[in-house]
Amino acid sequence: MSSEENKAIVRRYVEVYNKQNLELADNFVAPDYVDPDYPQLQGLEALKQMMNMFYKAFPDFHETIEDIIAEGDKVWVLFTYTGTHKGEWLGLAPTGKKIKCKAIDIYRVVDGKIVEGRRIPTPDLAFFKQLGIVEYTKIGKKLFPEDAK
């Protein structure tokens, strides 16, 4: 498949993700999907379970593609993702706070299906700071005044 076709597959997958219609994920993700960085995310069903947990924690979760680049079987996507923490996530009780973070996903597409995915998130500190879980120290507020609000 061409790089443009692979980008189109990833775009359609992101639409499925944003609509929270996991039945359609079968059209874009291989059953033997892997994430080399997360051993618990091996297989399409494990990916769906993780996505469902995230939807419960952030029911209005949405990813916006900022940039997308493809070469060969790889597709790199720069996202901004948003959501409101309304359900438990990783043992954290709902805070009701909104998040807005960036991430880069790298997908490998073979025969029209995503067979591998990796996420490079913004530092987790930014995510947890937005939830009100962590707070900058006095020095941190001096170093990052725009973030310390």
For 22-81, write each residue's pLDDT tens digit: 889 999 999 999 999 888 889 999 999 999 999 999 999 999 999 999 999 999 999 999
Q: Alpha-carbon distance 73 to 48, whole Å?
A: 23
- Encoding tokens for residue 1? 């498949």
Q: What is the CATH number of domain 3-143?
A: 3.10.450.50
**Residue 99: what pLDDT?**
92
**Percent of the chain with pLDDT strictly greater than 70:** 95
Task: Pick the closest to residue 98 from 57, 66, 70 (CA basis).
Answer: 57
Reduced to 3 states, what is the DSSP secondary structure of residue 55? Answer: helix
Phi-psi region of 103 (alpha: psi -120 to 50; beta: other; left: phi over 0): beta
- Amino acid identity of residue 131, one-letter, is L
106, 76 in Cβ contact below 8 A? Answer: yes
Model confidence pLDDT, tens digit, residues 72-125? 999 999 999 999 999 998 888 999 999 999 999 999 999 999 999 998 876 667
Average pLDDT, the chain: 91
Residue-level pLDDT at 100: 92
pLDDT at position 148: 61
Helix (H, G, I), strand (E, B) or coil at 43: coil
